[in-house]
Structure 1
Amino acid sequence: MKNAFTLHPILLLALLLTFIPVTYAQVTNPRTLDQEWGEYGIGDPYILKFRGKYYLYCSTRDDQSGVKCWSSWDLANWTYEGLCVPASVTTTKGAYAPEVIYWNGTFYMYTSPAGNGHYVLSASSPTGPFSVQTGNLGYSIDGSVFIDDNAQLYFTYAGGSGIRGAAMSSPLSIGTGSTISGTSLNGWTEGSTLFKRNGVYYLTYCGNHVFSSGYRVVYGTAAAPLGSYTAGANNPVVLNTEGAFFGLGHSGSVIGPDLDTWFIAYHNLLGPSSIVGPNRKLNIDPMGFNGSQLLVYGPTNWAQPAPALPAFYDRFDRTAIGSNWTNINGGNWGIYNQELLWQDNKATQQWYRQVSTAATAANYTAEFNLKEMSRGGTDARFGAVFSYVDENTFGSALLSSYDNTLETDIKVNGVSIGVSAVPLPPGWDYQKWHVIRVEKEGTTFRIYVDGMLKSARTANITAGGKIGVTTYHDHADFGYTAFSNHVNGSGVFSFHKPVPGVIPAVHYNEGGEGVGYHDLSSANIGGKYRADRVDIRDCEEGGQNIGWNQTGEWYQYNVNVQSTGPYHLGLRYATTFTACKLRVYCDGADVSGIVSIPATGSWSAWRTAVLKNLNLPAGYHTIRLETVEGEFDFAALRFESGAATLPNGSDNFDSGSFSGLWNYSNGNYTISSGRAGIDGFGKRTMGDVGWTDYTVEADVQCPSSGNGGLVFRVRNPAAAQFGTSDALSSDYFQGYYAGIEAGGIVLGKQNYNWAQLSRNNQPLTPGQFYHLRAVVSGANIKVYLDDMLTPVIDYTDPSPIISGKAGIRTHAANMSFDNFNISPGTGVAISAILF
């Protein structure tokens, strides 16, 4: 048995006030594991949890057969388990994206060898050996299986117009597939994973090509497994294109060792292997949720806190039961092979229990792994107890192999709420390992069997209690058993969140009044999301936000800053007709001064205020946001890299080659007669991603077809597929575009897709040069054409991109550029600009 160490709130506050550094076990992406495929690494990672342990599978190098497997108890330290599919199984040559599910005692693997259809393999152990169970079932690459609460299985896989899906009649049989609505990435889409949380179906997927630096992960939500899906609010949730950390994609998701926090595993691209295929590395980052909104706390490639462990767990990896358990009513208990706990007295009709000496908090998640060896009669039961105070107050989740049911009941002061018997799938094998999961939140208990939500009960138990295992007239075995004092995503509240990154306002630190927050109300006025005094309501933009934030109130967020330097803080907020004032602290030191944020005009009129260039030190720190004056609601804090220099840069192309200031290019731009020209698609950028407000301008030749112009606040530029320039590539960036075409001027927003913001229709002459200027200040964008006094477009973006580089872009046009120039806007002083 192991117990996690938890800081007392008073001690934690003292540490913060005296700035004593706290050390943590750390992990760093990308990961390098023992025995990776040479010059191929780990691509298309998939992680399965079984009996408390994690098993990692990845694609097989194209010229090799077999599938490799690693195991871990903590998602941080991995042990190579060898080939779980022997190399002699030639149908696994170049096994793409092998994924494994556990279903009723059997492990099933789905993989597509070199993209040539799918095969299903099976084994009795997660480490194999797996053997082929089907012929070629067809379907394109990246097959993934999801099991719903009603035991219905679904198969999703890659497609040219979006992710495709099909129902399954058994783990070995897949029905007819069709494209799932709302899952297209405007081309080839792959790497899907489907999971369910709080009644919402989440589908993560990626595209468009593994060799593109713009490979990325997005998600959608739906009310049914096969859609229709609505794109997530924070998409892409995994993306980085520049530097050495790029080509991020093909993810899988799993609940972490704290039993509560979800994690996403994905790969990054090193480049083409000199042997065959792409060379990739493993990455794992936590995910958070705000309502149905999913957020990846990443992608990160600097040291992060290792995943948290449960408050209590037992692997039974010893020879005696020990003092961490209390026996209730006797029975014949023991430890087998230093891996499980057993009770084999089935002759007596008596409840026997082992109950933990450790107790949970009021809200918790608990996990119990168990199987039946044999029953003493038709009334035999085995299972879990939870919220255990004594024999008069506790909950139970029991399996009956005779009735093929899960039975749940909760007693409070000797009074039962009533037994509820829920049928389990036909043919359920109780002599195989199964897992019961209990989530207690307030007075609600949610009970799962093998990941399927089977029962929800309500009982008036508001305090914590112990957990345990139990038998009646039965011989049963019990494996990994644990509880966490987190539930429904609360595990991310106090962990150190990466900066740069986005933090939902409602993910403030735990610890309560005076530690995680200071709130002047006596209770949560909005009654949403969290049960402490902070006022939280449903947000018009989705999820929940902190509301009724008054003068003197503050909220704290633990952060992990990538490197010392300036950072912009984009605060998503709403207020009425009065400006407000706020201040930001880091470890108690004022890093912003008092900053005024303008009124937005309505509690539902959400805007972004940017506090520019806050200087933050690298490493683990605590950010505090304090309301100095006024009242406002806020939904999120977005930290982005700031800039130490003023925006500047130019190129008149007179030298016959591009200036060295250009730091990104795709497309076949050339220089002729002192002008940069292209026929087709492309983009180029220069500058710093931390630039916010500036002017960018150039002489732009109007094309006879297509369009071209200026891009600004550009982040994550990339090219599609193998780096070739095509129509897809022209949308591969995040930022703004102001361009000209024969019919007028257009302003648009790019997030790996195109959204028009505004347009000015006027006839322009193909072949003629026009002077095009974009002035970006806060959320306002003004576009000028020849006349530099009166803008042809004046647009304010209510959901703006904060900062980024500038450059030129061409879309399906034959045209030229001259006299490109970037000049400063409002400078780099700390201030709040209404975005």
Structure 2
Amino acid sequence: MGEIVNTVAAALVALLALPALAAPPVQTTAEAGNPFVDGRYADPDVAIYNDRYWVFPTSSRGYAEQTYLDAFSSADLITWTKHPNVLTTANVSWAKYAVWAPAPIQRNGKYYLYFAANDIQSNTELGGIGVAVANRPEGPYVDAIGRPLVDRFVNGAQPIDQDVFIDDDGQAYIYYGGHGHANVAKLNNDMTSLGTFADGTVFKEITPAGYIEGPQMLKRNGKYYLMWSEGGWTGPDYSVAYAMSDSPIGPFRRLDKILAQDATVARGAGHNAVLNIPGTDTWYIFYHRRPLGETDGNARFLAYDRMNFAADGTIQRVKMLVKDNFDDNNAIGWKTYGGTWTATAGQYRAQHSYGGKSLLTDNHTNAVYDADVTVTSGGGDAGLVFRATSAAVGTDSYRGYYAGITPAGQVILGKANNNWTRLGATPMPITPGTRYHLRIEAAGTSLKVFVNDMTNPKITVTDNTYASGSSGVRVYNAAAAFDNLTITTS
């Protein structure tokens, strides 16, 4: 008996010694920038394993190239580590291609990864939803049963886009379905076989109105939330809707669309997962989206934003926000036009150049643009570009506006069109190496520039040359560091 007590005590001590997952600061979006990881990925699902947050996405490539799954982990939702090839078709005898929508979950001391493969279009083809298992979150995952777990169409649902959910009573469920139909089934405790409902059935159809694919289940305050994707995955109308229920098997009545394209930020926003920070009521929606200007269906990238609930438990509509504090020391999503740019020490740094600029893929019209700007050397200026189009390498090779600060002792505002037209300037002492907060308020033809004092503008002008375009940062005859860029709209 003493040996048993000692063994239990030792186990408790070991458990208490495990590192606790520290809750990151509450964010309104991926404040270190969306996309938050590099590369074309889609269909993210999330998990919390040990002391890290994990994201498991689909590799967004042609079907024949989708033979592997990567994963990403982070301790703070800011800096992400890539774990390549956590699952490959080499470890699944029946999977050949189109490996999609991984769904991670932990149970019985093992890590399970559910996935779809082969994109079957009929019950005569080999493929469907499989389950792989590993001893570590990063794998390698190997096929757990040597065949698909769900290998056929049931209730019209293509066996793809699975999500696995374990309820508070320990019962596990798998939600899945493409071709406009959704099913739910019970998973047995072994996580590799399907159970039955009280009426003896294995699958129940739960298709809500508007459903296309990509179900996701979460539970909050005793309510079950089914989320799913609507629209076409290659189109701009891809989006996320949801329903609520008192039961994990429904019924689910569509309530609202909560994530959709934004013509100022990105299109094709869909196929989501949801992350709840343990011990809090802080929630994030992870999803993929297509940058503006991209027409390739597989040009999908991972993003996350804050997801909020109303007092009655309904989900508020998600707004895709534009921020980058460069705390992850990368500039994913930025495109440079001249100059040398590096993200380091939590800042975006430009070496000395005559007109080097770096732009996002946004297309804002009326917005407030903020950034911290430090001129580090040179006698020129550094600042913000906005409403820019036709960007190219060259001193003034873009069409748009620019506001900046210069150690020559001025705040300046002007417009470019392969030349430079000054619209306004005002004296202000600017010290090299000192950080200044620069803000532009652009509303229709009204342009206002603020520096440090956000109440009284340094420059106010009216100009109707440019109505909309992309945003970014620029230097002229200077080197500079930029930080805490945000673009907000009403």
Q: TM-score, normalised to structure 1's length?
A: 0.33
Distance 2:260 2:109 in 1: 37
Could you say which residue in structure 2 is the equivalent of 1:63? 64
Q: 1:246 aligns with which of 249, 262, 267?
A: 267
Structure 2, unpaired ranges of 5+: 1-18, 121-127, 152-157, 196-201, 329-365, 368-437, 456-461, 469-490
The counterpart of 2:136, out of the listed 125, 129, 132, is: 125
**Structure 1 CA distance, aligned partners of 2:188 and 2:109?**
17
Per-residue CA deviation, residues 482-530 of structure 1 (Å, 9 max, x unaligned), is xxxxxxxxxxxxxxxxx98xxxxxxxxxxxxxxxxxxxxxxxxxxxxxx
**Aligned residue number for residue 5 of structure 2:** none
Question: What's 1:283 paired with?
Answer: 303
8 Å Cα contact 1:214-1:241 kept in structure 2 = no
Number of residue pairs matched by the alignment: 302
SS in 1 for 2:299: strand
What are the Cα deviations for residues 98-145 of structure 1, in whole angstroms up to 9, with x where unaligned? 111111211111111142311111111110111101312225210101
Q: Is the CA contact (8 Å cut-off) linking 2:30 and 2:78 kept in structure 1?
A: no
Deviations 1:623-682 (A, max 9, x none): 9xxxxxxxxxxxxxxxxxxxx999xxxxxxxxxxxxxxxxxxxxxxxxxxxxxxxxxxxx
1:184 corresponds in structure 2 to 209
**Runs of 4 or more above 6 Å deviation:** 1-6, 304-307, 613-623
| Deviation, structure 1 residue 260 | 3.9
- Taking the TM superposition and a 5 Å limit, the aligned residue runs for 1:533-682 are 564-566=441-443
What is the CA deviation profile of residues 29-73 of structure 1, one whole-angstrom value per residue up to 9, with x for unaligned ones? 12342xx3xxxx111111211113011211133223221111111
Distance 1:177 1:305 in 2: 46
* Separation of aligned partners in 1, 2:98 and 2:118: 5
In the alignment, the residues of structure 2 paired with residue 59 and residue 621 of structure 1 have an alpha-carbon distance, to the nearest angstrom, of 46
2:271 is matched by which residue type in structure 1? H
String of CA shifts for 1:539-596, please: whole Å, max 9, x gaps.
xxxxxxxxxxxxxxxxxxxxxx9973349xxxxxxxxxxxxxxxxxxxxxxxxxxxxx
Q: Where in structure 2 are the equivalents of 1:349-498 lying within 5 Å?
A: none
Label 1:224 to 1:85 Cα distance change in 2 as closer, same or farther (>3 A).
same
Partner of 1:598: none
Deviation at 1:617, TM superposition (A): 8.4
Contact between 2:174 and 2:185, CA under 8 Å: does it hold in 1?
Answer: yes
Task: Report the Cα offset of residue 25 of structure 1.
Answer: 9.9
Contact preservation (8 Å) 2:97, 2:117 = yes
- Check conservation: 1:142, 1:158, Cα contact below 8 A: yes
Is the partner of 1:110 in helix, strand or coil?
A: strand
Give the 3-state SS of the residue equivalent to 2:234 in structure 1: coil
Match of 2:165 in 1: 146
Kindly tell me: are residues 4 and 190 of structure 1, through their superposed partners in 2, closer, same or farther at Cα, counting changes over 3 Å? closer
Match of 1:263 among 284, 302, 309: 284
* Helix, strand or coil at the partner of 1:242: coil
CA distance, structure 2, for counterparts of residue 562 and residue 224 of structure 1: 49
Cα distance change on mapping 1:30 and 1:161 into 2, 3 Å: same
User: Which residue of 60, 84, 100 maps to 2:86?
Assistant: 84
Measured in 1, the distance between the counterparts of 2:316 and 2:439 equals 18
Matched residues in 2 for 1:266 and 1:287: separation?
12
Q: Closer, same or farther in 2 for the Cα pair 1:230/1:257, shift >3 Å?
A: same
Distance (whole Å) between structure 2 residues aligned to residue 306 and residue 112 of structure 1: 35
Structure 1: where are the runs of 5+ without partners? Answer: 7-23, 308-498, 501-560, 568-612, 624-643, 647-686, 689-835
Matches within 5 A, 1:12-23: none
**Cα separation, partners in 2 of 1:4 and 1:213, compared to 1, 3 Å:** closer
The one of the two structures with greater contact order (alpha-carbon pairs below 8 A, sep at least 6) is 2
Counterpart CA distance in 1 for 2:453 and 2:53 is: 30
Q: Which amino acid aligns with 1:281?
A: F
What's the offset of the Cα at 1:618? 9.5
1:122 to 1:614, Cα distance in 2 relative to 1, 3 A? farther
Q: Is the CA contact 2:447–2:463 (under 8 Å) kept in the aligned structure 1? A: no
1:730 — aligned with what?
Answer: none
- Of 98, 102, 108, 2:106 maps to 102
- Residue 209 of structure 2 contacts residue 254 of structure 2 at CA under 8 Å; is this kept in 1? no
> Considering only CA atoms, is the larger Rg found in Structure 1 or Structure 2?
1
Aligned-residue RMSD, C-alpha: 4.1
Q: Amino acid of the residue matched to residue 46 of structure 1?
A: D
Q: 2-side partners of 1:114 and 1:49: how far apart?
A: 28
1:785 corresponding residue in structure 2: none
State how far apart, in whole Å, the 2-side matches of 1:169 and 1:189 are.
27
Letter aligned with residue 184 of structure 1 = A
Distance in 2, matches of 1:620 and 1:160, equals: 54
Give the aligned partner of residue 211 of structure 1.
Answer: 234
CA contact (8 A) 1:25 1:305 kept: no
- Deviation (angstroms), 1:241: 4.7
Q: Distance in 2 between matches of 1:150 and 1:203?
A: 18
Q: In 2, Cα distance between the equivalents of 1:621 and 1:207?
A: 45
Distance, in Å, in 1 between the alignment partners of 2:277 and 2:171 is: 24
| 2:322 alignment partner in structure 1 | 301
Give secondary structure in 2 for the equivalent of 1:302.
Answer: strand
Distance 2:203 2:79 in 1: 38
Match of 1:100, as an amino acid?
P
Report the Cα offset of residue 622 of structure 1.
11
Given the superposition, is the C-alpha separation of residues 229 and 565 from structure 1 closer, same or farther in structure 2, using an over 3 Å criterion? farther
Task: Return the letter of the residue paired with 2:442.
Answer: G
Q: Are 2:172 and 1:172 aligned?
A: no
Aligned partner of residue 63 in structure 1, secondary structure: helix
What amino acid does structure 2 have at the position aligned with 1:261? T
Counterpart residue number, 2:48: 49
SS in 2 for 1:289: coil
The alpha-carbon distance between structure 1 residues 30 and 620, as it changes in their structure 2 partners (threshold 3 A), is: farther
Contact 2:184/2:249 (<8 A) preserved: yes
Q: Is the Cα–Cα contact under 8 Å of residues 37 and 302 in structure 2 kept in the other structure?
A: yes
